[in-house]
Structure 1
Amino acid sequence: MKAVRSARVDTLRGIAVFGILLVNVWGFTYGSGLSRYGMIGEHAALADKLVVFLVAAFAEQKFYPIFAFLFGASFALQTGGRRAPGAQRDNIRMTYLRRVAWLLGCGLLHGTLLWFGDILTVYAVCGFWLATQTGRRLADIAVALRWVVALNVAVTLFMAYITYVLMTLTPDAIAWGVGEGARAHAVYSQGSLMEIAHERLADFWSNLANAAFFVPKVVLLFLMGVFSVRLGWLTHPQRHRALWRKVLLAALWVGVPLNLWWGWAALRDAVDPMTGAPLAAFVSMLLEVAGPLQAAGYVAALMCASEPVVATLAQWFAAVGRMALTNYLMQSVLCDLLLQGAGFGLGAVLSHGALVGVCVLIMIGQVLLSRWWMRRHRHGPAETLWRRFTGSSTLWKKQSPQ
């Protein structure tokens, strides 16, 4: 049966692509230092301070959870739950494994050649484990979910210890971190192609090493996506409005205040890390929960939205979401070209507000390009290569209209 796409899911994915750009753009310019937003100083323009606050409060750690959640949901849709017989289920699993193997290769190339903060590699690694859940009963997946939750609790406790260490850093250690951030900024925004490549590779492998603490959270989000499909939360949101309203209320009353606090702490750290770094370390620990909670609120808001609202948003974002992988990779190419020293080097001269302006221009261009492309093709360029390599057309699919 031909798959029926969901306008809500495509729109949500498209919005998430742009949210990720707002978060990633700082890394292309300032590297992977302790202070994501670099230093702006006490006398920075109000616009610069405002964008740091808004991006930290409303974007940071809000959109990768949506992507991970939708990744798990897509797995459930592509593998058809428990409806496939044994031989067909094995074929589906092997096809899915080819998909994540391709994604792993794409992520490694992306991370080494374009963007050290690549997320595809981690998704692929988690995807290999997710493939083992093909065809399992929901009760069995629930057992796995409990183990994953326990693992996340253990990681959170360890991260709490790391947070304590960061909060007790000496002024000399903070000053060293500020100096390293300035050095990385100079390399990325003014360095040669080889200097940037060396810095990127070091940051990428460091990022992969730290992913050991990140993988449990991604797996948890994957499983929540699986449950959202198997229980109909995502595929039939109109039947679960009460649930989505509760999620939205939790995000508003708990998530928003904590994330506003993080926005303020991140701004203080960017203005004066000598006094702001300890508070930023503490609040960033709360962000590990507050970020995904607010992300859940974004999902809930779209699930509760009326059909006219969804239709209006879909006009702008659905095509972007249908070719999300292409747009994600394209953003890295454009940020490298525009911001880094091997390209136009704008990262060395643009203010924080202007960096967000570059993001807005990229978003507008991707909306127009995605709408033009999807009127002529079924899939984006990267998605087409992915499907051809993995034989994804053999996957059993039946997506419910929404």
Structure 2
Amino acid sequence: MTNHSVSSAAAPARPGTAARRILDVDALRGFALFGILVVNIAFFATAYPWHGVDDPAFSSGVDDAVRWFVALAFEMKFYLLFSFLFGYSFTLQMDSAARAGASFRARMLRRLATLFVLGAAHAVLFFHGDILTTYAVLGLVLLAMRRVGPRTAMITAVVLTVVVAAFIALASLGGLGPSTDTAAALAGGQRSTAALEGSPATVIAEHLRSMPQMLSALASVQAPAALAAFLVGLAAGKRRVLAEAHRHRRALRTVQLVGYPVGLAGAAVFASTGGTTGLNMVAVALTVVTGPLLAAAYVATLLRFFGTPTGHRVAGALAPAGRMALTNYLAQSVVCAVIFTGWGFGLIGDVSPPAAVGIAVAVFAAQAVFSARWLAGHRYGPVEWVLRAATNARRPQWRRTA
């Protein structure tokens, strides 16, 4: 969710320049933002998945196929991509502080504190599946480890991933995983739906009620997996992998050749057991290991694609949304809350999985257009401006100068 100050609004057409490399990073962030929305909107459109069951109102073959595809290609992958980019951007923040002669530790503490406040408000008001508070807390760990070398960071990430996967698998085999009483889950889904479609007060109350369950899921799976991705991003930043992608063509091809077959195999098992709704813990453990490989394959594919003329144009379309990732992430939740909950139209439970994905595509397309227009006249997105002001403890320039 972090951002940087170099503009990509007027990136040159020729590949290989510094601006072009920044454009690619922003485009990756925009791509990740789209994937996050596709996953999250399913949890706005119906409350049943929060209770471990699919919405019984949508059980057609098309509905099941869309849910399966989202679980296969998106769930447990795109938040890893976002986390990787957070770790990578951490190195950009380090470089920025060094150039300014400022204390990186003080800057980052202010930045993480602001992220936590924004995330807490986001979780209570609009979406209790918020990731910003988790990033803020894990950012403290990354801050403490900022001086480790790339090799140590990668080894730590691999060990952490294996330990988490082993813990989940052993807990499941020992009967400690979640068990779903279908009747109780359906009743819970109905109760949560009624609360979320009621009024802003009942929406907030439901978010607070479900917060302990959400925090437990974050602590056991998402947080350690995100920390591992942070460390991979930190290592990539120190090795300038994204900034000098043209020097790593062979490695990118290897990542694709390994990541797609292994990652898709694990994703197929995960999707076939219900994805993040079913939460088959053996499948989750498998995905903890294979999901990062598929996410890495996505990154490798996009970096190679962005090096082509067509890919460069696609990167140019994605990059503005990525430069305003924090603003757009929060705006996605606000828009979805207005569409689906008591903050607005209260359509929760009335929109099928295919329609929800269609809405996600439309929302992201609108954000891409808006972001490009906004950045034509402003240096930062609105929330990025606030975050930068807090980070640097001074007011940044708001509009672009001629």
Report the TM-score range of the alignment, normalised by the length of the smaller protein.
0.7 to 0.9
CA contact (8 A) 1:26 1:37 kept: no
1:16 to 20, 25, 32: 32
Q: Deviations over 1:349-368 (max 9, x none)?
A: 22222111221221121111
Please give the alpha-carbon distance, in whole angstroms, between the structure 2 residues aligned to 1:187 and 1:65. Answer: 31
1:149, CA displacement in angstroms? 4.1
Please give the alpha-carbon distance, in whole angstroms, between the structure 2 residues aligned to 1:148 and 1:252. Answer: 20
Q: Which residue of 2 aligns with 1:321?
A: 322
2:52 to 26, 35, 38: 35
Q: Deviations over 1:213-242 (max 9, x none)?
A: 233222211111111121222211110111
1:332, CA displacement in angstroms? 0.5
2:250 is the alignment partner of 1:242: yes
Q: TM-score, normalised by structure 2?
A: 0.84
Q: Which residue of 1 aligns with 2:107?
A: 95
2:360 is the alignment partner of 1:359: yes
2:153 is the alignment partner of 1:153: no
Q: Which residue of 1 aligns with 2:123?
A: 111
**Which range moves more in the overlay, 8-17 or 301-310?**
301-310
Q: Once the two structures are aligned, what percentage of the paired residues are identical?
A: 34
2:16 is the alignment partner of 1:7: no
Q: Which residue of 2 aligns with 1:376?
A: 377
1:121 to 118, 133, 136: 133
Please give the alpha-carbon distance, in whole angstroms, between the structure 1 residues aligned to 2:68 and 2:217. Answer: 26
Q: Deviations over 1:100-150 (max 9, x none)?
A: 11111111111111110000001111111212234x252xx6446545544
Q: Which residue of 1 aligns with 2:81?
A: 66
CA contact (8 A) 2:51 2:188 kept: no
Please give the alpha-carbon distance, in whole angstroms, between the structure 2 residues aligned to 1:349 and 1:46. Answer: 17
2:44 is the alignment partner of 1:51: no
CA contact (8 A) 1:57 1:262 kept: yes
Q: Which residue of 2 aligns with 1:400?
A: none
Q: Which residue of 2 aligns with 1:311?
A: 312
Gap change, CA 1:59 and 1:37, over 3 Å in 2: farther
Please give the alpha-carbon distance, in whole angstroms, between the structure 2 residues aligned to 1:29 and 1:389. Answer: 34
2:237 is the alignment partner of 1:229: yes
Gap change, CA 1:289 and 1:318, over 3 Å in 2: same
1:342, CA displacement in angstroms? 3.7
| SS of structure 2 residue aligned to 1:26 | helix
Q: CA RMSD in A?
A: 2.9
Q: Could you tell me which amino acid in structure 2 is paired with residue 159 of structure 1?
A: I
| SS of structure 1 residue aligned to 2:270 | helix
- Which runs of 5 or more structure 2 residues have no equivalent in the other structure? 7-17, 397-402
Please give the alpha-carbon distance, in whole angstroms, between the structure 2 residues aligned to 1:281 and 1:174. Answer: 17
2:213 is the alignment partner of 1:201: no
| SS of structure 2 residue aligned to 1:180 | helix
Please give the alpha-carbon distance, in whole angstroms, between the structure 1 residues aligned to 2:110 and 2:165. Answer: 32
Q: Which residue of 2 aligns with 1:341?
A: 342
User: What is the aligned length?
Assistant: 376
CA contact (8 A) 1:167 1:281 kept: no
Gap change, CA 1:92 and 1:203, over 3 Å in 2: same
Please give the alpha-carbon distance, in whole angstroms, between the structure 1 residues aligned to 2:353 and 2:193. Answer: 13
Please give the alpha-carbon distance, in whole angstroms, between the structure 1 residues aligned to 2:158 and 2:171. Answer: 20
